[in-house]
Amino acid sequence: MIFDATLRPAFTALLRNKARSMLTMLGIVIGVAAVIVTVAIGTGARTSVQKSIASLGSNLIVVQPGSITQGGARSGFGGASTLTPADGLAIAQLPGVAAVSPVVSLRTQVVAGGNNWQTFVSGVAPTYSYIRSWPVASGRFFNQSDVQAIAKVAVLGQTVVTQLFPGQSSPIGASVLIKGTPFTVIGTLSPLGQSAMGQDQDDVILIPYSSAMERLTGLKTVNSLMVSSTQASQIDEVQSAITTLLARRHRIVPPEPNDFQVRNLQAIAQAAGSTAQVMEVLLASVAAVSLIVGGIGVMNIMLVSVTERTREIGLRMAVGAPGRSILQQFLTEAIALSSVGGVIGVVVGALGALLVSVLAHWPTQIPLPWVALAVGFAALVGIFFGYYPARKAAALNPIEALRFE
Amino acid sequence: MESVVDVRGLRKIYTLGQEEIGALAGVDLRIDAGEFVAVMGPSGSGKSTFMQIVGMLDSPSGGSYHFEGRDVSRLTADERAAIRSSRLGFVFQSYNLLARTTALENVELPLLYATHPVREREQIARAQMQLLGIEHLAKHFSNQMSGGQQQRVAIARALVNGPALILADEPTGALDTKTSDEVMALFGELNRERGITILLVTHEADIAAYAKRIVRFRDGLIISDRINDQQRAA
Ligand SMILES: Nc1ncnc2c1ncn2[C@@H]1O[C@H](COP(=O)(O)OP(=O)(O)OP(=O)(O)O)[C@@H](O)[C@H]1O
Ligand SMILES: [Mg+2]
């Protein structure tokens, strides 16, 4: 009954004017596709940021040197070099702290065999592998005795392996010259890939921090301390405990600013994530406005359709169609136009998102609730903009409609 | 006899801007079941206006109208639509078949708005076309048929719901004499053999001669109402 009196005439009418229906749908298609692509890019970016944060460890706290004031001129963060491995050991004693690793980093040219390569050398503790959840792919990570012995051992990231030892099955046992000092390769790291910022995380050589300080920098201080708390929920308490501890160890007297700063990666990530989400919602709303423009197109074509079919409407009324049935017929037509357009829009949007991730290498992800939302909104646009023309059709005077030329 | 149409003092006034046009000025007419009535009269005498009100497509400005004993002025729009669907059949001068639609689908149209199961519908429509000898036109589109054929399809459409009353406003107005006679013979047959009440408007005496009763309008009033004792059959 319902199908024959509403759905069938609606689809027959739409198929009869294929080109016109297509062009009308185009507005909706573009609107929905724009929403889907925007959301896909936004969600993809957010997920990949979250993933790389997770790969860093969500319990991660970073302690960096702060600024120092000398004669009124303040240096930037890191200007003060006050952090020492002893600070790290003290932090390790705090409750809620799972592991600490000092980080000494430098960028330098390294040589192995006939190949040389510019890379990052990081002096870290054996706990670093645990803190970053970064296991070795082959060989072993250095241990506490290597640190104590200031051993000349190195663990290579995968990019360094391919650059220094191309075509070789395993670099383990080979020697790498770092700033003129030969280090023996004892392991390779599993690949991490790009960071959220597009940095190659595998382009790195890890050595014991003691070796880095003694043999490469010659300094008593380190660049930063990486701390992982036992539980993500305790991260704030641990953070403030570290602040108190270091202030005491560095003998900071209150009005004086701390010569270090303690940052929590999760908080940084959340801040970045919520900014991204605000942007995403903003862009999606702009896209939704184009959907409304598409809706006006639907209304326009429905008004044309009602006028064209005035005699048909009059006849249907004469043979007993109640106003409600005429209203439903035209409303169905409008909803069909916009929701078919919505479904096509989702497909086009999904293809667009795929294209973006293939061509621009941006990670994209289409969240299902948004698909439902976009199609639902398109259908709603159809109801909203189809109601007036349908109402107009149902309110026609049958005699005048039958006489209409 | 049971009355199908019973109007008393029926009036209709159209307002065009400031001007008021009295189309019907107090019509009394009772049509019983099984009658075949022809309405005649000069142009502008209110015949079409009368048919539209009887067909519940328009409402009167005054007077009363009872259809099969029910006071039409007390019916809701949906109830009137339901009566149009199940008790009334319209035949127009200009056929009014849906364009780009087959004859069969045109005949099925009134069944969409009545309570008929989907599968029965085509059967009922085909049976009706068969009764009128036009089943071979089922798959023809409106523009692939002659005027006479289109009017037969329109009559099949008017009959498909098994109505009590057929309202035909100048059904032969666009047809030649031979085809007009064929269509009128069909009306006569439907009236005699199926007992369907017919109310028909015509300008031509030859056409009115097929009816059992002839009513004449002038200036919105009935000026004569007589039994046709020389009814034509074929
Ligand atoms: N919608 C309308 N608005 C205003 N006046 C109308 C309308 N319909 C009919 N009239 C007027 O009402 C009067 C009766 O018209 P009606 O159509 O009933 O005549 P008719 O007898 O059917 O004429 P014809 O034989 O030419 O078909 C005429 O004066 C006509 O101008
Ligand atoms: Mg007329």
CA distance A42 to A335: 29
Same domain, A102 and A202: yes
Same domain, A290 and A321: yes
State the average pLDDT for chain B: 93
DSSP β-ladder status, B88-91 and B165-169: parallel
The predicted model gives B94-104 an average pLDDT of 92
Q: Measured between beta carbons, which residues in chain B are less than 8 angstroms from residue A316?
A: 109, 113
Cα nearest neighbour of A2 on chain B? B112
Give the tokens for residue A95: 């409750």
End-of-domain residue from the set A230, A264, A298? A264
Same domain, A114 and A223: yes
Same domain, A211 and A333: no
The predicted model gives B98-103 an average pLDDT of 91
User: Does the C-beta of B43 come closer than 6 Å to ligand 1?
Assistant: yes
Which pLDDT score is estimated for A220? 85
- Residue A224 DSSP SS3: strand
Same domain, A223 and A74: yes
- Residue A95 DSSP SS3: coil
> What is the crossing angle of helices A265-308 and A323-359, to 10°?
140
Which pLDDT score is estimated for B72? 96
Q: Do the beta carbons of residue A147 and residue A209 sit within 8 Å? A: yes
Q: Do the beta carbons of residue B218 and residue B41 sit within 8 Å? A: yes
Written as one letter, the residue type at B51 is M
- pLDDT category, B5, cuts 50, 70, 90? very high
Q: pLDDT, tens digit, for every residue of A257-291?
A: 778 888 887 676 777 777 777 887 888 788 878 88
- Total count of domains within chain B: 1
CA atoms within 13 A on the CB side of A269: 23
Range of the domain at A20: 2-52+271-403
End-of-domain residue from the set A221, A240, A264? A264
Asked if residue B166 belongs to a domain, the reply is: yes
Distance B228 CA to ligand 2 centre (A): 22
CA distance A60 to A130: 11
Which pLDDT score is estimated for A78? 47
Helix/strand number for chain A, H first, E second:
14, 12
Which pLDDT score is estimated for A80? 54
Range of the domain at B172: 33-56+75-214+221-227
Q: pLDDT, tens digit, for every residue of A301-329?
A: 999 999 999 999 999 999 999 999 999 99
Same domain, A142 and A254: yes
End-of-domain residue from the set A214, A232, A264? A264
Q: Which strand (E) or helix (H) includes residue A269?
A: helix A265-308
CA distance B138 to B152: 12
Q: What ipTM score was computed for the predicted complex, to two decimals? A: 0.93
Which pLDDT score is estimated for B181? 93
Q: Is the pLDDT of residue B95 over 60?
A: yes
Asked if residue B94 belongs to a domain, the reply is: yes
- Total count of domains within chain A: 2
Give the tokens for residue A343: 């479904």
Same domain, A297 and A246: no
Strand-pairing partners, residue B199, are: B37, B167
Q: pLDDT, tens digit, for every residue of A238-260?
A: 888 888 888 888 888 777 777 88
Distance B46 CA to ligand 1 centre (A): 6
Q: Do the beta carbons of residue B170 and residue B190 sit within 8 Å? A: no
Q: Do the beta carbons of residue A93 and residue A74 sit within 8 Å? A: no
Question: What Cα–Cα distance (Å) separates residue B193 from each residue in A12, B128, B144, B196?
Answer: 38, 14, 30, 8
CB contact under 8 A, B81 and A311: no
Give the tokens for residue B17: 């801007």
* Positions of chain A with pLDDT lower than 70, given as ranges: 1-3, 52-58, 67-80, 195-198, 266, 268
Asked if residue B61 belongs to a domain, the reply is: no
Same domain, A258 and A302: no
Same domain, A276 and A249: no
Give the tokens for residue A385: 């903009």
Neighbours of A243 (CB within 10 A): 16
CATH number for the domain spanning B93: value is 3.40.50.300
Q: From the list A1, A319, A402, which residue is nearest B85 (CB)? A: A319
Same domain, A369 and A283: yes
**What number of residues does chain A have?**
405
Portion 135-164 of B in contact with A at CB < 8 A: 157, 161
Asked if residue B130 belongs to a domain, the reply is: yes
CB contact under 8 A, A399 and B52: yes
Using the Cβ of A220 and the Cβ atoms of chain B, whether some distance falls under 8 Å is answered with no
Same domain, A39 and A111: no
CA–centroid distance for A122 within its chain: 27
Q: Is the pLDDT of residue B116 over 80?
A: no
Written as one letter, the residue type at A244 is T
Which of A7, A319, A404 would best serve as a mutation to test chain B binding (most B beta carbons within 10 A)? A319
Give me the residue label for tokens 């890019």. Answer: A41
Closest residue (by CA) to atom 11 of ligand 1?
B23
What is the model's pTM? 0.72
User: Does the C-beta of B220 come closer than 6 Å to ligand 1?
Assistant: no
CA distance A4 to B180: 34
Which pLDDT score is estimated for A278? 81
The better pLDDT of the pair A285, B163 is held by: B163
Same domain, A191 and A75: yes
